[in-house]
Amino acid sequence: MEKQALLLEAESGRFFSYAAGIAYQFLVRADRGVGRPEIDNYYTDLPIQKGLSSSAAICVWWQGHLTKCITSKCREEMEIAYLAEIATPSPCGRMDQACAYGNRSITVIFDGDRTDIIELSVPKDLFFVIVDLGARKNTQKILKALNECYPFAYNQVQANVQKYLGFIDYQITQAAIRAIEKGQAQQIGILIKQAQEEFDRHLTAPALHQLLNHQPI
C-alpha cells in the first residue's frame, strides 16, 4: 500500500474512497508495515445512502481488520475512521463512527472538540420499526447546509437548526437515555413523537410526512 496513491483515491470520492482513506490514515500512524491486505466484498447487505452510516460502517470494519496486528480500542478506531471519512468529499461527523462499538448501546456527547462516550446499561431487548422512505438524498449537500448553520446563524432556518439541535434536542435525548436504561419502550415512543413534533415546529420533513399521512398507516 502506498500512502499517496491511497490519499488520491480517498479524495476522488469513488465507491472505495472510504476504504482507501482508512488505509491511508492507518499507514500514517502505523509504526511498521502491514503487508498487502485484501478486501473480498463478496456480499453487501447494508443499504447505501439510506442514512444508516454505511460509509462509517466500511471505515470501522476495515479499520478493525487492519488493527488486528496492533493494540486498538474502539475510541481509536472511531478517531481514525473519522479522519478517513473527512479525507473523502463526504465530510461526515464523528457520531457515525459509533458503529465501531457494534451491538452495544452507547450515548455520544459532544462539547466543542471534546467527545464523551458512555456505554448504556439496557435491562431488556427493545424493538424498533425502521421504515425506508424511498426518497433520494444528497449527504454532501445536507452536511454542507448543516455546517453553514454554525457557529453563526444568518437566516431563520439556520437559527431554527441551532435551536432544535441545541437545548431542545439535548433535553429529549437525556430523557430517552433514562428511558432506555429503564427499559421503558412506551416512554421511548412518546419521546420519539415529541422529537418529531418539536422538529416540525422549527424545520420541515415533507417526505416523512407524506409517509405518516398515508391512509393505511
**What fold, for 1-119?**
Ribosomal Protein S5; domain 2 (3.30.230)
The grid cell for 197 is: 413534533
Angle at 41 between CA 80 and CA 99, to 5 degrees: 35
- The pLDDT score that the predictor gives to residue 99 is 78
Average pLDDT over every residue of 143-155? 91
pLDDT higher than 90, residue 149: yes
- The pLDDT score that the predictor gives to residue 180 is 95
Q: Give Cβ neighbours of residue 64 (< 8 Å, ≥ 6 apart).
A: 72, 77, 100
Q: Is 201 helix (H, G, I), strand (E, B) or coil?
A: helix
Angle at 12 between CA 8 and CA 17, to 5 degrees: 85
Q: Are strands 114-119 and 106-111 parallel, antiparallel or unpaired?
A: antiparallel
Nearest to 46 by CA among 59, 55, 35: 55
- The pLDDT score that the predictor gives to residue 71 is 45
pLDDT higher than 70, residue 91: no
Q: Is the pTM for the entire model greater than 0.75?
A: no
Instruction: Provide the pLDDT confidence category of residue 192 given band limits of 50, 70 and 90.
Output: very high
- Residue 16, classified by CB atoms within 10 Å of its CB into exposed (0-12), middle (13-18) or buried (19+), is middle
- The pLDDT score that the predictor gives to residue 115 is 77
Q: Where are the beta strands (DSSP E) in 46-201?
A: 106-111, 114-119
Q: Where are the domains of the chain?
A: 1-119, 121-217
Average pLDDT over every residue of 9-27? 84
Number of CB atoms found within 10 A of residue 198's CB: 16
- The pLDDT score that the predictor gives to residue 75 is 64
pLDDT higher than 50, residue 201: yes
Please identify which residue in the block is written with the cell numbers 460509509. Answer: 55
pLDDT higher than 90, residue 202: yes
